[in-house]
Amino acid sequence: MVWNIGKSILGTGDTRVDVEREADVIFAAAFIGATLFQNDRKGGRAWRVDMEPNSDIDKNLDARTADDRASMRGLNDACSKVNQLVRTQLARDEGGVVWGLTPTFGRGGMIQAGEGAQREYAKVNPTYAKTAFSYLSAAQRAAKDGQRADEMYIGRGAYCGLVVDDDGNAVSAMSTIRTTLNENTPDIGERWRPPADADVRAAQYPRDKDDATWGLIGGVALQDILAQQGMRFYPQSGGMPVSPNKHTDIVGYTHGMIRCICETVRIGQGTAFEMSIGVDTFKLASCMSCSSFMMANGVDASSTHLGRGESWSPYYGSQSHNPSYHADKMSIDDAIRHCNSRYTAFMHQCLRNGVAAMANQPSWVNEKHRGALAKLELILAQRSTAQNTVARDLFLDAMTYHKSDLLRLNSALVYGSGARPSCDASYDWCQNRSTGPDIKGTWESWVNPHTDEEVRALHTPPDPLLKQ
Ligand SMILES: [Zn+2]
């Protein structure tokens, strides 16, 4: 299919700012749609998203506390605005979204896919989980040819997906891969590749505007470091990654959880888990993009965050797949198609429902974003169906403009007129209570839970199990 090579995703303008507003609106619509889906599934009860207390090595306790409070304020505002839209759509003053803190914060904790996962996880011996963390995070073999010999990526944002079969055995592990996509990639649909002179390229890649393939995380120089940290690049030819072509390609990242869900479908059993590994990622929550894919496939994330899902991508092929020893219930390529088609239909529904909720309360949509919303509504109405990939591809395009998901929400939505009960800036959606002169909001009273010493320990690599 011929791709969109305009200067923005929806065609509302030619500058970076136009792209940013379009991406904000697309993400906000998807999030509101996912919230409506969750409310329906939970019989009207609210859906919870989580944030992670700051654990930056270069910040002291006061700085970490200030950072947490700012995130909490932002998350709370996003809940108020989303709840205004969602509750108006549902015509009742319950449901919507609330927030909390990411669960089990420590090495070897896991994110679980599906309700059965909670039960399964209870069987996992915490000592084994810690051993797995050490095994997967430690560099056991030296890097060769610029690729770490072990398959696990351990750098920033590192999660390792695990598949545990119905007998409780961990049978496969897969982490995030970088993949290069173009018009010839099977089932790719219609994606957006901004032209060489697009303003947004210079803005996103200030040092490499002429060299970076669109979608790349970081700059060109970071790629060697990522490879050293174990990230695998695809497609490969003769065991070596094929270099991205900036004129024809875009770059996407398929997270370990997605690869593992496809494996559970291939073998017709088991549960996908995700474990944070390495020394720079501790959050035990799935990104919003993975969470959507999981909802679409009937396995909810145990926790969802609104951090970043930069250039998030589903699986388009099985070249990188690391299958377990279990036999095929269906081929891996069929499993990928099966999961992707459910995801595609889900994104169509989410975007349509989200856009309807936003259009219904225009004063709660940022004035500067209303043009993008109108254009999105038009494109969805004219071209998107549950069977095609139009809505999915617009969402994926939005994720190639790199920005935190929480900021996208708070950019697209504002406090408008006619607030429903609780949907103003003073309600605390973490503790579910009104604040006032005597009752502080969580964002005012919170203190970061880690000592400076604990933060240093978190960032120290574990001892390798096998001495070199
Ligand atoms: Zn993810």
Q: How much distance in Å is there from the Cα of 112 to the middle of ligand 1? A: 12
Structure tokens at 323: 């299958």
Q: How far, in Å, is the centroid of ligand 1 from the Cα of 291?
A: 7
3-7, 11-15, 463-467: which has the minimum mean pLDDT? 463-467
* HEC per residue, 343-386: HHHHHHHHHHHHHHHHHHCHHHECHHHHHHHHHHHHHHHHHCCC
CA of residue 248 to ligand 1 center, whole Å: 25
Residue 394: count of CB within 10 angstroms of its CB: 29
Cα–ligand 1 centroid distance for 363 (angstroms): 32
pLDDT-based confidence at residue 310 (cuts at 50, 70, 90): very high
Confidence (pLDDT) at 51: 86
Separation of CA 159 and ligand 1 centre (Å): 8
Give the Å distance between the CA of 181 and the centre of ligand 1.
18
Q: What was the pLDDT predicted at 158?
A: 60
CA of 161 to the centre of ligand 1 (A): 10
What is the 417 CA–ligand 1 centroid distance (Å)?
35
pLDDT score at 143: 42
Contacts of 48 (CB under 8 A, 6+ apart): 97, 98, 99, 100, 304
- Give yes or no for residue 272 having a pLDDT over 70: yes
Average pLDDT on 100-112 reads: 57
CA 218 to each of CA 222, 371, 401: distance values in angstroms, whole numbers, following the listed order: 6, 30, 12
Q: How far is the CA of 274 from the centre of ligand 1 (A)?
A: 9
The alpha carbon of 466 and the centre of ligand 1 are apart by a number of angstroms equal to 30
> Distance from the CA of 158 to the center of ligand 1, in angstroms?
10
Q: Cα of 102 to ligand 1 centre, how many Å?
A: 15
Q: What are the residues whose beta carbon lies below 5 Å from ligand 1 (ion)?
A: 255, 287, 290
Calculate mean pLDDT across residues 98-106: 69
Rounded Cα–Cα distance for residues 296 and 346 (Å): 6
- What pLDDT is stored for residue 50 in this prediction? 87
Q: The dihedral of CA 181, 183, 186, 191: what is its sign?
A: positive
159: nearest Cα among 52, 248, 281: 281
C-alpha radius of gyration, the chain, whole number: 22
**pLDDT for the residue 463:** 60
Burial of 126-143, coded b for 16+ CB within 10 Å and e otherwise, reads eeebeebbbbbbbbeeee
For residue 426, report the distance from its CA to the centre of ligand 1, in Å. 31
Say how many Å lie between the CA of residue 436 and the centre of ligand 1: 37
223 alpha carbon – ligand 1 mean position (Å)? 19
Find the 252 Cα to ligand 1 centroid distance in Å: 12
302 Cα–ligand 1 center, Å: 13
Q: What is the pLDDT of residue 148?
A: 43
The pLDDT tens digits for 372-391 are 999 999 999 999 999 999 99
Quote the ligand 1 centre to 255 CA distance (angstroms): 5
Q: Is the per-residue pLDDT at 117 higher than 60? A: no
What is the reported pLDDT for 147?
Answer: 44
pLDDT recorded at residue 169: 79
**Least reliable range by pLDDT among 2-6, 144-148, 310-314, 442-446:** 144-148
Expressed in angstroms and rounded, the spacing between residue 284 Cα and the centre of ligand 1 is 11
Which pLDDT belongs to residue 457? 77
pLDDT digits (tens, 9 = 90+) for 237-254: 998 999 999 999 999 999
pLDDT band (50, 70, 90) for residue 151: low
How does DSSP classify residue 4? B
Q: Where are the beta strands (DSSP E) in 52-175?
A: 97-101, 110-112, 159-164, 170-175
Average pLDDT along the chain: 87
Q: What is the mean pLDDT of residues 199-209?
A: 95
C-alpha 311 – ligand 1 centre gap (Å): 10
pLDDT higher than 70, residue 283: no
CA of 309 to the centre of ligand 1 (A): 6
DSSP string, 249-291: -EEEEE-HHHHHHHHHHHHT--EEEEEE-SSS----SEEHHHH
How far away, in angstroms, is 467 Cα from ligand 1 center?
32
Rounded to the nearest whole angstrom, what is the distance from the C-alpha of residue 369 to the centroid of ligand 1?
26
Percent composition of the chain: helix, strand, coil (DSSP 3-state, to 5): 40, 15, 45
In this predicted structure, what is the pLDDT of residue 107? 46
Q: 306 pLDDT exceeds 60?
A: yes
> Is the confidence at residue 352, as pLDDT, over 50?
yes
- Looking at residue 145, what is its pLDDT? 45
pLDDT, greater one: 202 or 232: 202
Average pLDDT over residues 45-49: 93
Q: What local confidence, expressed as pLDDT, does residue 459 receive?
A: 74
User: Ligand 1 centroid vs 180 CA: distance in angstroms?
Assistant: 18
Output the pLDDT for position 54.
86
Gap from CA of 427 to ligand 1 centroid (Å): 29
**pLDDT, position 53:** 83
Rounded to the nearest angstrom, the distance between the alpha carbon of 409 and the centre of ligand 1 is: 18
If one compares 394 and 461, the residue with the highest pLDDT of the two is: 394
Predicted TM-score (pTM) of this structure: 0.90
Distance from the alpha carbon of residue 143 to the mean position of ligand 1, in angstroms:
25
pLDDT score at 348: 98
In the chain, the percentage of residues whose pLDDT exceeds 90 is 66
